[in-house]
Structure 1
Amino acid sequence: MKNFASSLFPPSLKRFFQAQQEANREENPSRQAAPAPVMLSGTPGAGPVVLASPHSGHFYPEAFVQAARQPLDILRSGEDSFVDELAKGAQALGPPLIHATFPRVFCDVNRAAWDLDSRMFHGTIPSFVSPSERGLAGLGSIPRIVADRRPIYRQRLPFMEAALRIRHYWMPYHAALAGLLEAALKQYGFCLLLDLHSMPDALQAGSPDFVLGDRYGTSCSRHLTNVAEQTLQGLGFKTARNHPYAGGYITRHYGRPSTNMHALQIEMRRGLYMEESTRTPHEGFAALTDALTILVEQILAHVPTQKNTHHHAP
């Protein structure tokens, strides 16, 4: 995996940023007071499993909030509140935990970097911008819409704003995540990313408590997905696979079982641990923390733990 992290950023993108930064030296004042975009708990390479929470960030730059058409409460609707905290018990077992401090409505790292709807920007749009169907629907790396398809912005943004967010937020997150996976793969010949998310409570009776997304068996070995499913069901939770969440860009990009890199997206129902309307943790928070810890403990029992060996996928 030579230069794995840097391979995420083609030379053409680096040249674009160098040219743009020479032309625009202004810094966003809110960035000066912002926390680091990525936080890491634990030690890289400490084990073959990496925990990640890409959507639990809750630092909303003031300039962004002021430019938004929607109030902060609506902007926060897609936030995976407290997921990084729910994972602390699991992290104490040894796996490093990475989480973004910025919110997905500001920059969504679970989309390809240049998955952007060019219609939301003014100015020259570089040729490497490549929107997917979801990007064109307003759900790209810089989202155009939020809850109930409400438009986020009052007017079009300069494309440079999107480019700077990708540069200062998306890229550091993926460089850090790729580095953690590279360290695990180097040490153990195997790595597994558990990408942690929360999902809204569904109105339908019997809706799942957890949804396990492995891109229909292509991003993670079925054995490990089975272990996760059986563990959760044994704890009394209702589970589903790949519906309605099969895994986003992160799962697809990092899940490469043929090279001993696995990725499993885990969606947890928000009502299990908090009041959705107020984003307040309730008495179920500790129980879900314990359940997530047990889940990771069971997964660790089924992955290679001997260093410097070359294992095939479980």
Structure 2
Amino acid sequence: MKRFFQLQQETHRENTPDRQAAPAPVLVSGTPAAGPVVLASPHSGHFYPEAFVRIARQPLDILRSGEDSFVEELAQGAHSLGPPLLQATFPRVFCDVNRAAWDLDSRMFHGAIPSFVAPSDRGLAGLGSIPRIVADRRPIYRQRLPFMEAALRIRHYWMPYHAALADLLEAAHAQHGFCLLLDLHSMPDAPQAGSPDFVLGDRYGTSCTQRLTNLAEQTLQGLGFKTARNHPYAGGYITRHYGRPTNNMHALQIEMRRGLYMDETTRTTHEGFAPLSDALSILVEQVLAHFPSQKNTTHFSG
């Protein structure tokens, strides 16, 4: 694998102007281990490198269709209660950190494909860590990419995000004996699930103790929101990878209906933004109140 990162300088320089103009790929706000809860927004990034836009087949408004717009802003109130907030500044259509690193559709590249590439069914469908398609299954690129392009994105975007997330969770767990990742996302209306306001994904009870999922569900329902659990979103790679309830490490994916807080056509927020942000704050307050108050307490299980 290392040989894919022994890059010729001229290859790396192609992206240099965009990388200099860009924000840091990953931003962390707050103090690690300030509490047992970590907030994360992996899909709200909206910096689109010029080199990427140039090689894309689709216009920017289509490329942005899968963006979880404003989610990191919705989380600011909850963040102010103490939990650190991690966010990616790059968009998921460019690099999706909610997929395994080498979950790639080899058909989108030309040249030799290394043996460590291991596509899942979603990867083969074009929805891997470097997506091949966007909304309505539209192809993103005009032509096949060199595999080195994927390797660079994994190195400079995927890996820093997961390094930061792992550090935050490990620090919280070491300090408090338990931790909970609230992985924040947004979603279009989901009529197949009854158009819920929130979908809570705990990988069917395998990534988060039922006690915490129940608490989140009851809190949101008590605020008047309609909720669903694990359908149509049970949680992706992040939830599956970091949620280990037997080790007191919990991960809960929270999908929020975009119509609650924004106009999807104009991609602008509306009057529902503040109430939804307040709801996230109340949810975090309830979670913090129900965590054991001292390190090394009894196992936090449902």
TM-score tier after normalising by the smaller chain length = over 0.9
Which has the larger displacement, 294-303 or 239-248? 294-303
Are residues 1:179 and 2:167 paired? yes
4+ residue segments displaced more than 4 Å: 21-25, 203-206
Q: Does 1:237 align with 2:225?
A: yes
Gaps of 5+ in 1: 1-12
Which residue is equivalent to 1:100? Answer: 88
Partner of 1:312: 299
Provide Cα deviations, 1:205-250, integer angstroms capped at 9, x if missing partner. Answer: 9410000000000000000000000000000000000000000000
2:267 to 259, 279, 285: 279
Partner of 2:116: 128
Structure 1 residues 1-314: aligned runs within 5 Å: 13=1, 15-20=2-7, 24-28=11-15, 29-203=17-191, 206-307=194-295, 309-314=296-301
| DSSP 3-state at the match of 2:286 | helix
How many angstroms apart in 2 are the aligned matches of 1:292 and 1:163? 36
Structure 2 distance, partners of 1:129, 1:205, is 33
Matching residue's letter, 2:264: E
- Tell me which moved more, 248-257 or 195-204: 195-204
* Aligned counterparts of 2:191 and 2:245: Cα–Cα separation in 1: 35
Structure 1 residues 219, 278: closer, same or farther in 2, change over 3 A? same
- Whichever residue aligns with residue 274 of structure 2, its letter is A
TM-score (norm 1): 0.92
Conserved? CA contact 1:47–1:305, under 8 Å: no
> What CA distance in whole angstroms lies between the structure 2 residues aligned with 1:21 and 1:113?
22
In structure 1, the residue corresponding to 2:13 is in which secondary structure?
coil
Equivalent pair of 1:69/1:151 in contact (CA under 8 Å): yes
Question: Which AA in structure 2 matches 1:306?
Answer: Q
* Mapped partners of 1:205, 1:141: distance in 2: 26
Identity of aligned residues (%): 83
8 A contact 1:260–1:311 mirrored in 2? no
User: Residue 211 of structure 1: SS of its match in structure 2?
Assistant: strand
Say if 1:260 and 1:160 are closer, same or farther in 2 by CA, change over 3 A: same
Tell me how far apart the structure 2 counterparts of residues 244 and 79 of structure 1 sit (CA, whole Å).
Answer: 18
Q: Which residue of 2 aligns with 1:3?
A: none
What SS does the aligned partner of 1:301 have? Answer: helix
Moved more, 294-303 or 220-229: 294-303
The offset of 1:25, in angstroms, is 4.8
- Counterparts of 1:220 and 1:204, CA distance in 2: 24
Q: CA deviation at 1:27?
A: 4.7
Query: Distance in 1 between the 2:199 and 2:175 partners?
Result: 30
SS for the counterpart of 1:139 is coil
Query: By how many angstroms is 1:304 displaced?
Result: 2.7
Structure 2 residue runs without a partner (length 5+): none
1:201 Cα deviation after fit: 1.8
Counterpart in the other structure of 1:5 = none
